[in-house]
Amino acid sequence: MDEPILISQSVAILVDGNNIERSLENENKGQNMMINFDVLIPRLLKGRGLNRLIYFREGKSISSKLAERLHSKYHGSVRPCHKSADIPLSIKATQLSSKVDSIIILSGDSDYVELVRHLKSEGVRVEVCAVESTTAQVLRDEADYYHPILKEDCYTLSPPGKKKTRR
């Protein structure tokens, strides 16, 4: 019997936080839903190596708990953006393109179509992960692979003093 071929890939995960947060809110009718990265990231990586995890977020009110969690568990970082995450995320993706085999973009925004095309022309595998109902079809079509964000990938934030409930 042949030995299985072990393939080692380096992956960067770049998150457009505002897009994902808005999409979850729209999908779940205003419930305060958040991604459970401890479920989603292993599902996305499927045994591949995580090179970078960067969560881009517009605005000043960025959860210190999220930043701490991403850093301690995945050596990730949260990057505040002046306006939209589109430009900073695109610049970082372009910078990382020579250092990784695959880039996973967490966003359903069609603004990333040209970035996906560019990265693929540089030989990078590009995957998109987003809420299915708010993902632009053109983005899904351009990506090498599409991962829908599932209900199992999320949890509901409870008001202060109450426990989180998995959805």
CA angle (10 as vertex; 131, 88 as ends), nearest 5:
55
Higher pLDDT: 71 or 59? It is: 71
In this predicted model, what pLDDT tens digit does every residue of 96-115 receive, in sequence order? 999 999 999 999 999 999 99
Residue 35, beta-bridge partner list: 154
Write the Ramachandran bin of 123: left for phi over 0, alpha for psi from -120 to 50, otherwise beta: left
Model confidence, pTM: 0.88
Rounded Cα distance, 57 and 59, in Å:
6
Sign of CA dihedral 63, 43, 131, 26: negative
pLDDT at 25 over 70: yes
Domains of the chain: 10-159 (3.40.50.1010)
- For residues 66-94, give the mean pLDDT: 89
Rounded Cα distance, 149 and 13, in Å:
14
Residue 167: predicted pLDDT: 45
- Residue where the block lists tokens 């779940």: 28
